[in-house]
């Protein structure tokens, strides 16, 4: 599903929240939905379940930490959660690399590109917050 199509599926209540204005947050929620769909198609088995669980936890942690940071206002608390979100995004990137054996090459490339863009947006926001 393309990002623009996905936007139409997001509940209006979510779009009305102030954190929605942060583009990295929207991208992180989108990534989670993509990851959810990715793991639904994987073969079944204990090793795969662990891989899927770790991937979904790390991907979900990106948007969850942005939400928590946004809920704390500005300053050091928000910055701490932005840093945690960056760490979660880097972890998600690693889990996607580990999942390369069950993903199509194009899917892997698209997911890694999306994660890289989220990391860049988070770093940009963190730097912007630190100059305030």
CATH superfamily of 26-130: 23S rRNA-intervening sequence (1.20.1440.60)
pLDDT of residue 132: 65
The full length of the chain comes to 132
Q: What is the pTM of this model?
A: 0.94
Q: Report the C-alpha gap between 32 and 55 in whole angstroms.
A: 9
Percent of the chain with pLDDT strictly greater than 70: 98
The sign of the dihedral angle between the CA atoms of 126, 9, 49, 99 is negative
Burial 68-96 (b: 16+ CB within 10 A, else e): bbbeeeeeeebbebbebbbbbbebbbebb
Please give the structure tokens belonging to residue 3: 């990002």
Q: Where are the domains of the chain?
A: 26-130
pLDDT in tens, 51-100: 999 999 999 999 999 999 998 877 688 899 999 999 999 999 999 999 99
- The whole-angstrom separation of Cα 85 and Cα 113 is 17
Tens-place pLDDT, residues 29-46: 999 999 999 999 899 988
């Amino acid at each position: 599903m393309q990002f623009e199509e996905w936007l139409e599926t997001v509940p209006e209540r979510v779009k009305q929240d102030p954190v929605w204005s942060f583009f990295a947050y929207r991208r992180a929620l989108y990534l989670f939905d993509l990851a959810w769909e990715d793991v639904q198609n994987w073969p079944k088995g204990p090793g795969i379940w662990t891989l899927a669980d770790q991937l979904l936890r790390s991907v979900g942690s990106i948007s969850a930490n942005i939400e928590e940071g946004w809920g704390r206002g500005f300053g050091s608390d928000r910055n701490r959660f932005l840093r945690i979100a960056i760490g979660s995004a880097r972890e998600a990137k690693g889990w996607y690399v580990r999942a390369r054996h069950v993903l199509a090459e194009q899917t892997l490339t698209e997911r890694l590109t999306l994660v890289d863009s989220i990391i860049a947006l988070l770093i940009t926001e963190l730097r912007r917050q630190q100059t305030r």
